[in-house]
Structure 1
Amino acid sequence: MDDLDARLLVTMRAHPRIGLTELARRLGVARGTVQARVDKLMASGVIADFGPTVDPAHAGYPILAFVWLQIAQGRLAEAVERLGTVPEILETHGTSGQHDLLCRVVARSTEHLQEIIAHILTSPAVQRTDTTIALSTQIPYRIEPLLLRQPPP
């Protein structure tokens, strides 16, 4: 990625509905250049999607929690398959350290969160959970500072 790719991505994130022609105008390059760059960034996986960013809190799920899971030895695939059936689990990451998985979970209420955790614990593959409820978001997801960072000398 070079400076033009970074500026292209930052502009696309700031203006998600921008067309290629307008993007080219703002960046001061030809439309074909923008199309080629976008295609390259898509093919390499840098651009993962063009979907809208949905705020779960505004969609009826104001509780955000992080749930750490300890998985029974040799049962990771079983646990992940089961977790994939829970719509309130937005993402799950394998981790190192004390816990095996970290899930980002949303819920309609704390009672609903408790039901979700109880459901997770019905899986024999899950031995233990540890839950932290987010009280606020201090720095929302962002990528622009990383994209615009100058490479180290």
Structure 2
Amino acid sequence: MQIGKSDEKSLNPHRYDDLDRKLIALLREDGRASVSHLANILGVSRATIQNRIDKLVETGAILGFTIRAHQGLDINAVRATMMIEVTGRSTSRVIQHLRGIPELEKLHTTNGKWDLVAEITATNLVEFDRVLRIVREIEGVVASETSILLSTI
């Protein structure tokens, strides 16, 4: 399941407890962890874990399951951080458009001059340029500044 598609659910206003938060944290570390393994770590039954996962997916707290690949795996990948300024009250509409761009791996709200910060990963410079163009053409985006990430230290 891919995160960020236009059919993405809004977060259901459900109360999440400590077990939900711990389960989500474990799944962030290893989205392929077995229900048995998660139940063992959290000290609850397999059925409890399965029910919680189902509830978290249904309510929109979990949007999908994915892998995290080693950054050195694709040496041609271009990683960057893009700061985005949005005009007026168009932030929600802009966010909705941005979520439809698969290369935007994460999107954050922030304060100060920039309204949003996007983490971008593109397969190469041509695709990176295409993503920048798409973002800059979204109605409501008035300015952006992008920094390519060269190495992780």
TM-score after normalising by structure 1: 0.60
- Asked whether 1:66 is paired with 2:66, we answer no
CA 1:109–1:36 in structure 2 vs 1: closer, same or farther (change >3 Å)?
same
Alpha-carbon distance, 1:53 to partner: 1.0
- Asked whether 1:51 is paired with 2:65, we answer yes
Q: Equivalents in 2 of 1:121, 1:12: separation in Å?
A: 31
Alpha-carbon distance, 1:134 to partner: 2.0
Deviations 1:20-50 (A, max 9, x none): 2x666x65x6xx72322453466367x7367
1:74 is paired with a residue whose SS is coil
Match of 1:36 among 48, 52, 75: 48
Q: What are the residue-to-residue correspondences of 1:2-151 with 2, within 5 Å?
A: 10=26, 13=29, 16-18=32-34, 20=36, 33-40=45-52, 43=55, 48=62, 51-55=65-69, 58=73, 62-138=77-153
Larger Rg: 1
In the alignment, what sits opposite 1:143?
Answer: none
- After the TM superposition, which parts of structure 1 deviate over 4 Å for at least 4 consecutive aligned residues? 9-15, 56-61
Question: Percent of pairs identical after alignment?
Answer: 14
TM-score after normalising by structure 2: 0.60
Alignment check: 8 A CA contact 1:90 1:103 kept: yes
Q: Equivalents in 2 of 1:35, 1:11: separation in Å?
A: 16
Contiguous gaps of at least 5 residues in structure 1: 139-153
Aligned amino acid, residue 43 of structure 1: K
Q: Which structure shows the higher helix fraction?
A: 1
Give me the CA root mean square deviation: 4.0
Alignment check: 8 A CA contact 1:12 1:18 kept: no
